[in-house]
Amino acid sequence: MSQVTSQRGRPFVKGNPGRKPGSRNRASVVAAALVEGEAEELARSAVQLAKAGDPGMLKFLLGRLLPRERRINFAIPTMESADDAVEALGSVLRAVSEGEISPNEGAAVAALINSYSQAIDRADVVKWLDAPERLIKGRPQS
């Protein structure tokens, strides 16, 4: 007797791609059908609930209406070498301590500065490693 076992996630014959990309499952289709034509009324009800003081609905609506990030503007010195990152990070710390930017925004900018500093370091290492080859071939350093 041969025993047929089905592997989880492998219900299709080889070569069968499964569901088409973008197709919706049955629950999504049913939910969309229930809401169809009711979107305006549901939105009004949600706004009324939020205005009446429902904290969950207020958080839900504000999370979708307010911008997630804002553009920040403060002075950072030009970074031409990795050593300049210390001064740039000092500028970020000053901006956070003076309330120009939030601590989360400061952390995001600091991460960008660190990434840029590492890129400068890597470029310097590549130049240093390529220097002997340039000398051998008679090319000037860039």
CA distance 108 to 86: 16
Quick check: helix, strand or coil at residue 3?
A: coil
58 and 89 part of one domain: no
CA distance 121 to 27: 52
Q: What DSSP character marks residue 125?
A: H
Q: Which domain holds residue 111?
A: 84-137
Tell me the pLDDT tens digit for each residue of 23-56.
888 888 888 887 888 888 888 898 999 999 999 9
77 located within any domain: no
70 located within any domain: no
Please, which residues have CB within 8 angstroms of residue 81's CB and are 6 or more apart in sequence? 120, 124
What predicted TM-score, i.e. pTM, was given to this entire model? 0.49
- Kindly tell me the burial class for residue 21, based on how many C-beta atoms sit within 10 Å of its own C-beta (0-12, 13-18, 19 or more): exposed
Number of domains in the chain: 2
Tell me the pLDDT tens digit for each residue of 89-106.
999 999 999 999 999 999
15 located within any domain: no
97 and 60 part of one domain: no
125 located within any domain: yes
Tell me the pLDDT tens digit for each residue of 55-99.
998 888 888 887 777 888 888 999 888 889 999 999 999 999 999
User: In terms of pLDDT, which residue wins out, 4 or 16?
Assistant: 16
Please, which residues have CB within 8 angstroms of residue 92's CB and are 6 or more apart in sequence? 76, 101, 106, 109, 110, 113
